[in-house]
Structure 1
Amino acid sequence: MEFEYSTRDRGTKPVKEGFLVKKGHVRTNWRTRWFVLYQDALAYFKNKGDELAAGVVELQGCSVIAPCPQYTKKQGVFQLTTSRGKELLMQASNDTERDEWAKAIGDAIRSLDCISIDANGVSGSDVKHDELVTAMQDSEAGLKLESHRIDQQTVVKDCFSGQALIDWLTKWGFADDREKALELATDLVAAAHIQPQAIGKEMTSKLVTDDPKALYKFSAFHMSAKKPVISSSSSSEDSDEETIDKTAELPTKGLKGHGGKAVKQGFMLKRGHVRHTWKARLFVLWDEPPYLQYYRGSKAKGGDNKPLGEIPLRWCKVNVVNTNDKKVTGSIHSDTSWTVQYVTVKNKSRQNLFSVTTQKNKMYVFQASSPEERDEWMRAIISPTELNTK
């Protein structure tokens, strides 16, 4: 058996319980089971009220993904993976219930593996744990999850290497150098946002190393960050991503009730106006009239979908930001060239920067993940702006 049998009494009060549909391991059919989540384990029973559990998963070292990437068109499915790589697939009655179960399981995993929790930040960074992890899980700019084959029988799925993690933190400017990035990553492991993976009989150290062979997983990977802000009603063909949790999308109206529609979304870093700190924000570009909204994470906290701010784009200027003396040239459209602007940035190694200066001469500075993404954002901002100035 892949999961042990157990009596119902584990000596602790259940954290959460209810019916879920579970995929079988042998016959691979889907059967309804009564699930009980404890502080250290997830048990399931053939019938509600049974004393003997049909199976129990010890949560130490586990990771949970919601929704399950293999079942994006099947509503409510999420996946729990044990420290040994065994997978348990479950389906809730709807996406909201799925997210509730995934969050509860993720919180239980973190509480077991957490060495020290500091919700206010990591290694002196201005970025909070939750915000950093949300940015790391962004579908476009975040860490890319991969499968790593260790030997002929062992494949570690949905993971990333220590080297990839350090590269990402330095690329996005969350750390000034690789040494600072190592400290930041180790704090995330200590707070159990990231789980070291066992390879054979060896466990990747909780002290993160800049090593492509050291593998890690998110304790809770919420793919809801991949849901589209832009409505899918304009397309007759639904892709996998368009079917994800439409009930929890960001609002279809702007902060001030403007008309128009969302034309682009994604994560970028935004420089603060006062302290000039850089924070990951989710941006949504609207047209008619053109303006840019930004949010704290994949969605506003506490059920409040209000953005943190709104940038008016009518009559704005969009510039490439140059942090050194090297000449920068290029074009967004064949008939629209960049202008290049020099801006003082504390970390001269920051790349892929651009600025938006409003009609009232207020300048915002952003960092994209690549030159291509920077150009896409500039092009998208320029296009609705041109439409509204003709």
Structure 2
Amino acid sequence: MDGDQKNRLKEGFLVKKGHVRTNWRTRWFVLFNDAVAYYKKKDDDFAAGAVLLQGCSVLSPCLQYTKKKSVFKLSARDGTELLMQASNDNERDEWVKAIGETIRACSISSSDNTAMPKLTEAQVKRNKDIIQAMQDPDAGIRLMTKTLDGSSHKDCFSGAELVDWLLKWSLAQSREDAISKASDLVTAAHLQPLVKCRSLANCQQILLDEPQAFYKFSAFHMSAIKALIPSSDESDSSNDSDSSESIPRTSSSSQITVKSFKGNGGKIVKQGFMMKRGHMRHTWKARLFVLFNEPPYLVYFRGSKAGDEKPLGEIQLRWCKVDIVDASQDKSDLTLKNKQRQNLFCVTTQKGKVYLFQTNSVEERTEWMRAIMSPNDIA
């Protein structure tokens, strides 16, 4: 993938399910203006894989994996699926929103829609209201698994079902009005047809002429877990070779019980991914960090382990010292080989042990430093 910074819309660590071994591994993800790419390491020049976003659909949360938290799914038009897990629900929602907007932008910009009139402000608002209603857990449109050209597609619906749903809930005054409103949703790329179209206008015609054509949401945000309870054959199965791996629950009210914690199980005040330098080999690894207060301590995981599993390490923070690190300056106690590393900071414990971290941005570094220095203020 092109590493041009101007094309990078969002990036960060996510845990990805493998396609072959079906295990979960931490990868560095980058959202470009036309694709999502993932890398084995943050600084790799070449991506380990990528999904072109035109015609894709992103769904959150992914209810097929109820044992895992903060999972979302990206589905391509050919049925290929990419399952990803964020460190918390807020981070998941940010990724889904960014990916969904990019999918829509790709679909609109790549289509020859010059012959279609531009939607008015009222139509834009109406489309958003209809999409929100369609995704309602109680009254929304029913999502099904459909078969098209021998491929199975989950979480989709037909044009005829959409028209009938609009009429059922009096969101359209007549069948012609329902078809018109459904066409507007396709025009605005809120919906993705499972057939490849030369233009959005062509997709409109398909909606009119082929009511059994199937569609997906560009971005589906489920508002409640009770919607669309998965069937037994779609739930998280035992053939997952690493099914025990899961990121701990990450909201501030969550409780993580780990028997090896030396603290008293205080409140979680912050958590997320950071790079950490090893003490022996000085290699950098992505780790999931959880910050507790009372007493203050920082726990880190491999990045895809369940909350009840032993962490990789714990850092006692009482009377610690937190400092910004400039890699370009020569510091003998840190011996940084790569002078280009940015957004570094270190924590020196009361006993003098030094931990070195790297964040994705200056703002994120400031947030972590402030939280570590005053965890009770954050809580």
Query: 2:197 matched to 1:196?
Result: no
Match in the other structure for 1:85: 79
Instruction: Report if the CA contact (8 A) 2:54-2:106 is conserved.
Output: yes
**What do the CA deviations read for 1:62-95 (whole angstroms, capped 9, x no partner)?**
0000111202341110000012110000000011
Match in the other structure for 1:121: 122
Match in the other structure for 2:170: 173
Matching residue's letter, 2:192: Q
Match in the other structure for 1:314: none
Matching residue's letter, 2:144: E
**What do the CA deviations read for 1:27-82 (whole angstroms, capped 9, x no partner)?**
00001000000111111100011001101111111000011120234111000001
SS of structure 2 residue aligned to 1:85: coil
Matching residue's letter, 1:103: K
Gaps of 5+ in 1: 1-5, 229-239, 249-390
State how 1:49-128 maps to structure 2 within 5 Å.
49-114=43-108, 118=119, 120-122=121-123, 128=126
Distance 2:250 2:14 in 1: 21
SS of structure 2 residue aligned to 1:205: helix
Match in the other structure for 2:273: none
Matching residue's letter, 2:8: P
SS of structure 2 residue aligned to 1:144: coil
SS of structure 2 residue aligned to 1:121: helix
Matching residue's letter, 2:128: D
TM superposition shift of 1:193: 0.4
Distance 1:183 1:12 in 2: 37
**What do the CA deviations read for 1:306-344 (whole angstroms, capped 9, x no partner)?**
xxxxxxxxxxxxxxxxxxxxxxxxxxxxxxxxxxxxxxx
Query: 2:16 matched to 1:22?
Result: yes
Distance 1:100 1:135 in 2: 21
CA gap of 1:97–1:149, structure 2 versus 1, over 3 A, is same
CA gap of 1:75–1:51, structure 2 versus 1, over 3 A, is same
Match in the other structure for 2:141: 143
State how 1:241-320 maps to structure 2 within 5 Å.
none
Match of 2:26 among 29, 32, 49: 32
State how 1:374-385 maps to structure 2 within 5 Å.
none
SS of structure 2 residue aligned to 1:98: helix
Match in the other structure for 1:133: 131
Count residues in correspondence.
Answer: 225
Q: Which gives a bigger RCO, structure 1 or 2 (Cα 8 Å, sep 6+)?
A: 2
Instruction: Report if the CA contact (8 A) 2:88-2:251 is conserved.
Output: no
SS of structure 1 residue aligned to 2:204: coil
Match in the other structure for 1:261: none
Instruction: Report if the CA contact (8 A) 1:182-1:210 is conserved.
Output: no
Matching residue's letter, 2:138: E
Matching residue's letter, 1:99: D
Distance 1:210 1:137 in 2: 25
Matching residue's letter, 2:126: K
Matched-pair identity in %: 52
Gaps of 5+ in 2: 227-235, 237-248, 253-379
SS of structure 2 residue aligned to 1:52: coil
Pairwise CA RMSD: 3.3
SS of structure 2 residue aligned to 1:22: strand
Match in the other structure for 1:206: 204
Give the TM-score normalised by the residue count of structure 1. Answer: 0.52
SS of structure 2 residue aligned to 1:128: helix
Match in the other structure for 1:221: 220
Distance 1:106 1:24 in 2: 22
Instruction: Report if the CA contact (8 A) 1:137-1:221 is conserved.
Output: yes
TM superposition shift of 1:109: 0.4
Instruction: Report if the CA contact (8 A) 1:195-1:219 is conserved.
Output: yes
Instruction: Report if the CA contact (8 A) 1:20-1:32 is conserved.
Output: yes
Distance 1:199 1:212 in 2: 16
CA gap of 1:15–1:226, structure 2 versus 1, over 3 A, is same
Give the TM-score normalised by the residue count of structure 2. Answer: 0.54
TM superposition shift of 1:10: 5.0
Distance 2:118 2:92 in 1: 25
State how 1:305-384 maps to structure 2 within 5 Å.
none
Distance 1:102 1:226 in 2: 16
Distance 1:63 1:188 in 2: 14
CA gap of 1:66–1:34, structure 2 versus 1, over 3 A, is same
Distance 1:34 1:22 in 2: 10
TM superposition shift of 1:188: 0.5
CA gap of 1:146–1:68, structure 2 versus 1, over 3 A, is same
